[in-house]
């Protein structure tokens, strides 16, 4: 017994097995007493004796205690045994009679629980975790796992089959997130497997080895395969009734998982597959996989939920989703950095500013933060200053850089060129214009940019801007520098001022394809001392450059012209446009002469005659341009921007010849009073920007403006709209901000494709027509600062409306018509001082932003069914009555609070008591009002 007692002392979990004759053994009773005495985790198995029999010493247990007493066991010992049995019988354990499949099912359940409690199957995860809670919650939602208060809800039954793809930058924490999720949920499954570095193993021709690992993990015994084909067949038919969790880490191509988990129906109901992807389009390929399992054959269907959706139903019961892990925000990055750099100690004052700068320079990548923070722990301030300087030059640690280099090298050549162009010149720029150059260079931009998106190397933001992480920009520029570290003139792209200064002294610079020479002050170059040096330029951007040329330039033969491969010329602050005549403009597709100070435009006709393939012409802020350039524009022109040409009197009567024109921008050409009559016949025209002009009226005859999608007429003070606007059937965006319109024509309801209607600061607009309810596709309506005092009842038909902005309007009561708009995500009534009474958002299932600051709202009525999406709520100081109307026993999470004074606007998170706890216990609405709710994020 002493040895047994010693073992009990050092055990984490003790499992007594209670049979009918358990109490007949003194040693068994002594062991249970010792377990209770040592306060071990005790998990009893009631094999053929119920907890009541054990705890109350009934039946055979009663007889056994009588026998022990008869044999001289002291009453004190008997009482200790009885108390120990009573204590253990109340603990959570297992009763054999409740297991339908007997011993086998019981043993599996016990082993699974014990392994989980001992964390035997858990993957190693760093202790320094920051900002993961939100991502874990999102993943649980996508996996269909009930997850509350940081814990998986026990006893739940997983439904269907799901695949979740996680994508994001290298080093951003994808694998860490998956490990956390895996550790939390693997016990819900009958089999589980976490397979590392799929890409690397498949590249090494070890597919059969990966299959062996998967099969061995799922069936809990080692297997050996003769071929990968055998492995696929085995996986396909062996596990169709087994509920499994499979994680495939570091996947770069769908073919790499084709033989592992191509079809979710290979596995049993409730199965989950998580893919950590190096690309973001595996999701799309999964949606095209035919369902093989016979049980789904009849119900198979494929539906993609809208363009760009992140959810695909392969068939009933099988769901494929994707989740993109974003960079840490600045606050979380700083917090994580301090964990590594100061090991939990307070940040010294002298290090505070440096610590913030360094955490910002890491770009929100946890792997970089970890390496940099750990390396600076305990180091003097000089090391920190050097680290910051080094991060600005080369932000990635070696491992992340290695992965990125591999991604870059996996790109097709054209995609590589587009990536480098974006890193060097186009980050933050509208991608529409570079596309023209890339098409002219045969780079296949649609395919190339799509490939960059899939590899998470470039993104396109909502405003159509090309964007990449600042660290990726530095990485791309490093690739260019590595083409020749010491000789800039032998690199393909130049953008650095110092490098350009060195190159300008060279006679021949054949390697340079793209040059951005921007100078702070005017620089003069002789014609023969600048253009001839760069014979292979396709992209040239320069400003404040004066070229002193030969007066005979206009008469040169094609062979004598400079820059024969030029596709893009951006010459801002050009002093004399006649300098362009020295260039070969025959291949030019983009010409930007914004802010030109050229006083004479007599040679414009000659320039346009040479640029016969021109597609984009930008002449913004050319203050001396008095005559429309359209009369001499090449017929292939697609985009014309004349914004802020302050002396321009008109667009030009000959615009009708530009049959390919897609976009016309004459913003703030204040002398323009009318549009040419034949502009409506331009069949390709999609965008028309006339903001700030003196145009008084536009006629839209039937059949005109056939493809116009965007019309912006803000700040047109004299503009009036006729009923003919209803003929613009393709219009999706209409902005009339800062106009003096007093009403909208009823025909506006005929714009069936309109998605955005902006009427900001229309001080004469006091009502909307009832026909507004006919705008079936309307998603955004902005009425900020208008004098509108109510919305027509027809707004209840705007089923697709997502954003309603009415700050500082004269609205008097919360519009009843919007109460049941299930798509509505954002409502802004801030500053509506006439708004009184109650705010009822009970039917707004998608609402996540509600702004009511500086209103006289007295009640907020919310019905919570399941989960509320409300994340941002701004109210006035003082008491707001919060009525929670719900169904007793439902599960709830609601982000809000009882009084507005408890909200913070600094982004801090506040933990509070939950309303759901009271409601589950049957609390009344009055009791619910007295509680704060679960979480607040602002």
What is the predicted pLDDT for the residue at 866?
38
Segment 383-442, tens digit of pLDDT: 898 888 888 777 666 767 777 788 888 899 999 999 999 999 999 899 999 999 999 999
Residue 876 is predicted with a pLDDT of 62
Q: Could you give the CA distance from residue 609 to residue 606 in angstroms, rounded to a whole number?
A: 5
pLDDT in tens, 457-499: 888 887 889 988 777 888 899 999 999 999 999 999 999 888 8
Number of CB atoms found within 10 A of residue 147's CB: 18
Please give the biggest Cα pair distance in the chain: 129
User: Pairing state of beta strands 41-42 and 13-14?
Assistant: parallel
- Which has more pLDDT, 777 or 928? 777
The domain 398-483 is placed in CATH, from the list 1.20.120, 1.10.10, 1.10.150, 2.30.30, at 1.10.10
pLDDT of residue 912: 29
% of the chain beyond a pLDDT of 90: 42
CATH class, domain 125-288+313-324, is alpha beta
CA atoms 548, 550, 554, 559: torsion sign: negative
CATH code, residues 1-117: 3.40.50.10140
Residue pLDDT, tens place only, 569-611 = 999 999 899 999 999 999 999 999 999 999 889 899 999 999 9
* Contact assessment for residue 206 and residue 228, using Cβ atoms and an 8 Å cutoff: no
pLDDT at 864 over 50: no
The fraction of the chain above a pLDDT of 70, given in percent, is 86
Q: Which residues contact 760 (CB under 8 A, 6 or more apart)?
A: 714, 737, 738, 782, 783, 784, 785, 786
Strands (E), 366-421: none
pLDDT digits (tens, 9 = 90+) for 514-527: 999 887 778 888 77
Distance CA 60, CA 83 (A): 17
Residue 748 pLDDT grade (very low, low, confident, very high; cuts 50, 70, 90)? very high
Q: How confident is the model at residue 911 (pLDDT cuts 50, 70, 90)?
A: very low
Task: Check if 125-288+313-324 and 398-483 are the same fold.
Answer: no
pLDDT band at 289 (very low <50, low <70, confident <90, very high): low
Instruction: Tell the residue number behind the tokens 């930007």, with chain if given.
Output: 592
> For residue range 678-725, what is the model confidence (pLDDT) as tens digits?
898 899 999 999 999 999 998 899 888 989 999 999 999 989 999 999
CA dist 562 to 528, 530, 536, 555, Å? 9, 10, 10, 13
Q: What is the pLDDT of residue 871?
A: 65
Q: Which of 180-184, 498-502, 660-664, 761-765 has the lowest mean pLDDT?
A: 498-502
pLDDT higher for 296 or 617? Answer: 617
Read off the pLDDT of each residue in 742-769 and give the average, rounded to a whole number.
94
Sequence-distant (≥ 6) Cβ neighbours of residue 147 within 8 angstroms? 136, 137, 140, 141, 153, 184
Domain ranges of the chain: 1-117, 125-288+313-324, 330-392, 398-483, 722-801, 808-887
The residue-averaged pLDDT of 555-570 equals 84
Cα–Cα distances (Å) from 534 to 116, 417, 493, 540, in that order, read 67, 19, 11, 10
Task: Tell me the pLDDT of the chain averaged across its residues.
Answer: 83
| Mean pLDDT, residues 35-53 taken together | 89
Average the pLDDT over 562-573 and give the result: 94
**Which token pair is 777?**
């596709």
**Burial (CB count within 10 angstroms: exposed 0-12, middle 13-18, buried 19+), residue 389:** exposed
CATH of 722-801, one of 3.40.50.970, 3.90.190.20, 3.80.10.10, 3.50.50.60: 3.80.10.10
Q: What is the pLDDT of residue 281?
A: 67
- Return the CA Rg of the chain: 35
The order of strands in the sheet holding 881-885 is 836-840, 856-863, 881-885
Contact 82, 107 (CB under 8 A): no
pLDDT band at 925 (very low <50, low <70, confident <90, very high): very low
Per-residue model confidence (pLDDT) at position 913: 25
**What is the pLDDT, as a whole number, of residue 555?**
58
Q: Would you list the DSSP string of 691-725?
A: TT----B----TT-STT--EEE-TT-TT-B--GGG
pLDDT of residue 879: 33
From 248-252, 293-297, 347-351, 649-653, the region with the lowest mean pLDDT: 293-297
Give the DSSP H/E element, type plus range, for residue 352: helix 349-361
- Whether pTM exceeds 0.85: no
Per-residue confidence (pLDDT) for residue 917, from 0 to 100: 29
pLDDT bin (cut points 50, 70, 90) of residue 172 is confident
Read out DSSP for 500-567? HHHHTT-S--TT--EEEEEEEEEEEEEGGGTGGG-TT-SEEEEEEEEEE--TTGGG--GGG-B-TT--
Note the pLDDT of residue 53: 87
Residue of 201, 262, 203, 258 whose CA lies nearest to 410: 203
- Does residue 267 surpass a pLDDT of 90? yes
How many CB atoms lie under 10 A from the CB of residue 849? 16
pLDDT at residue 921 in the model:
32
pLDDT of residue 198: 87
pLDDT band for 888, please (50, 70, 90 cuts). Answer: very low
pLDDT of 869: 59
Supply the pLDDT for residue 894.
34
User: Which pLDDT score, from 0 to 100, does residue 924 have?
Assistant: 34
C-alpha to C-alpha distances, 791 to 366, 733, 796, nearest whole angstrom: 48, 20, 10
Q: Is the pLDDT of residue 352 over 60?
A: yes
Judge whether 396 and 171 are in contact, CB under 8 Å: yes
Res 310: pLDDT: 56
Q: Which of 285-289, 328-332, 890-894 is the least confident region?
A: 890-894
Residues 490 and 484: beta-carbon distance below 8 Å: yes
- pLDDT class for 296, splitting at 50, 70, 90? very low
């Amino acid at each position: 017994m002493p040895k047994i007692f010693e073992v009990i002392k050092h055990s984490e979990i003790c499992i007594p097995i209670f049979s009918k004759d358990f109490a007949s053994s003194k040693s068994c009773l002594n062991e249970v007493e010792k377990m209770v005495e040592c306060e071990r985790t005790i998990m009893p198995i009631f094999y053929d004796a119920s907890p009541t029999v054990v705890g109350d010493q009934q039946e055979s247990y009663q007889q056994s205690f009588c026998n022990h007493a008869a044999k001289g066991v002291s009453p004190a010992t008997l009482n200790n045994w009885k108390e120990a049995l009573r204590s253990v019988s109340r603990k959570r354990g297992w009763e054999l009679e409740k297991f339908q499949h007997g011993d086998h099912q019981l043993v599996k359940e016990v082993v699974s629980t014990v392994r989980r409690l001992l964390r035997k199957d858990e993957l190693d995860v760093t202790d320094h975790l920051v900002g993961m809670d939100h991502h874990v919650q999102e993943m649980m939602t996508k996996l269909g796992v009930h997850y509350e208060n940081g814990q998986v809800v026990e006893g739940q039954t997983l439904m269907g089959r799901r695949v979740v793809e996680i994508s994001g930058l290298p080093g951003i924490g994808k694998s860490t997130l998956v490990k956390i999720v895996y550790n939390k949920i693997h016990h819900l499954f009958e089999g589980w497997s976490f397979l590392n570095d799929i890409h690397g193993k498949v590249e090494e021709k070890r597919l059969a080895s990966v299959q062996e690992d998967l099969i061995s993990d799922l069936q809990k015994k080692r297997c050996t395969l003769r071929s990968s084909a055998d492995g696929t067949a085995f996986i396909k038919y062996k596990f169709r009734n087994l509920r499994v969790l499979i994680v495939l880490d570091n996947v770069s191509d769908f073919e790499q998982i084709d033989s592992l988990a191509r079809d979710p129906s290979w596995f049993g109901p409730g199965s989950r597959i998580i893919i950590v992807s190096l690309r973001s389009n595996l999701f799309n390929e999964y949606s095209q996989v035919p369902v093989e399992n016979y049980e789904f054959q009849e119900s198979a269907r494929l539906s993609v939920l809208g363009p760009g959706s992140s959810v695909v139903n392969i068939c009933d019961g099988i769901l494929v989703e994707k989740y993109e892990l974003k960079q840490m925000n600045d606050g979380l990055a700083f917090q994580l950095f301090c964990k590594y750099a100061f090991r939990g100690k307070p940040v010294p004052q002298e290090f505070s500013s440096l610590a913030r700068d360094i955490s910002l320079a890491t770009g929100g990548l946890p792997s970089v933060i970890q390496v940099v923070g750990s390396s600076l722990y305990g180091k003097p301030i000089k090391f920190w200053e050097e680290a910051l300087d080094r991060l600005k030059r080369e932000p990635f640690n070696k491992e992340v850089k290695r992965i990125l280099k591999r991604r870059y090298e996996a790109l097709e050549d054209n995609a590589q060129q587009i990536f480098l162009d974006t890193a060097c010149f186009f980050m933050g720029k509208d991608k529409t214009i570079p596309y023209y150059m890339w098409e002219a260079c045969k780079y296949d931009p649609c395919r190339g940019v799509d490939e960059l998106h899939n590899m998470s190397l470039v993104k396109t933001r909502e405003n159509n801007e090309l964007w990449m992480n600042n660290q990726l920009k530095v990485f791309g520029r490093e690739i260019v520098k590595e083409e020749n570290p010491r000789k800039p003139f032998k690199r393909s792209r130049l953008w650095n001022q110092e490098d350009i200064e060195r190159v300008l002294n060279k006679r021949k610079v054949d390697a340079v394809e793209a040059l951005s020479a921007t100078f702070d002050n005017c620089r003069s170059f002789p014609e023969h001392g600048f253009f001839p040096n760069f014979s292979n330029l396709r992209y040239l951007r320069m400003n404040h450059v004066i070229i002193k040329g030969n007066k005979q330039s206009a008469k040169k033969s094609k062979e004598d012209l400079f820059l024969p491969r030029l596709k893009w010329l951006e010459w801002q602050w050009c002093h004399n446009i006649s300098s362009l005549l020295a260039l070969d403009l025959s291949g030019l597709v983009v010409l930007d002469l914004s802010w030109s100070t050229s006083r004479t435009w007599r040679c414009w006709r000659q320039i346009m005659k040479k640029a016969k393939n021109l597609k984009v012409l930008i002449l913004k802020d050319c203050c001396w341009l008095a005559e429309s350039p359209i009369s001499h524009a090449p017929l292939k022109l697609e985009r014309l921007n004349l914004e802020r040409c302050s002396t321009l009197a008109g667009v030009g009567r000959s615009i009708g010849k530009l049959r390919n024109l897609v976009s016309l921008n004459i913003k703030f050409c204040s002398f323009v009073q009318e549009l040419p009559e034949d502009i409506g016949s331009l069949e390709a025209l999609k965008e028309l920007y006339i903001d700030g002009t003196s145009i008084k009226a536009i006629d839209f005859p039937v059949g005109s403006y056939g493809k116009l999608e965007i019309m912006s007429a803000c700040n047109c003070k004299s503009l009036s709209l006729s009923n003919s606007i209803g003929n613009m059937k393709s219009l999706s965006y209409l902005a009339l901000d800062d106009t003096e319109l007093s009403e909208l024509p009823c025909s506006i309801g005929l714009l069936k494709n309109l998605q955005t209607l902006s009427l900001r600061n229309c001080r004469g607009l006091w009502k909307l027509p009832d026909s507004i309810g006919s705008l079936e596709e309307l998603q955004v309506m902005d009425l900020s600062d208008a004098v509108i005092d109510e919305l027509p009842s027809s707004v209840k038909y705007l089923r697709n409306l997502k954003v309603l902005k009415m700050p500082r309007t004269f609205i008097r009561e919360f519009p009843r018509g919007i109460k049941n708009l299930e798509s509505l995500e954002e409502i802004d009534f801030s500053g509506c001082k006439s708004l009184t009474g109650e705010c009822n958002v009970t039917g707004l299932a998608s609402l996540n932003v509600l702004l009511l600051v500086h209103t006289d709202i007295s009640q907020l009525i919310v019905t919570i069914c399941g989960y509320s999406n409300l994340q941002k709520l701004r109210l006035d100081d003082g008491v707001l009555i919060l009525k929670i109307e719900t169904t007793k026993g439902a599960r709830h999470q609601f982000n809000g609070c009882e009084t507005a004074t408890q909200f913070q606007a600094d982004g801090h998170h506040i933990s509070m008591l939950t309303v759901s706890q009271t409601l589950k216990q049957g609390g009344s609405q009055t009791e619910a009002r007295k509680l704060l709710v679960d979480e607040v994020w602002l």
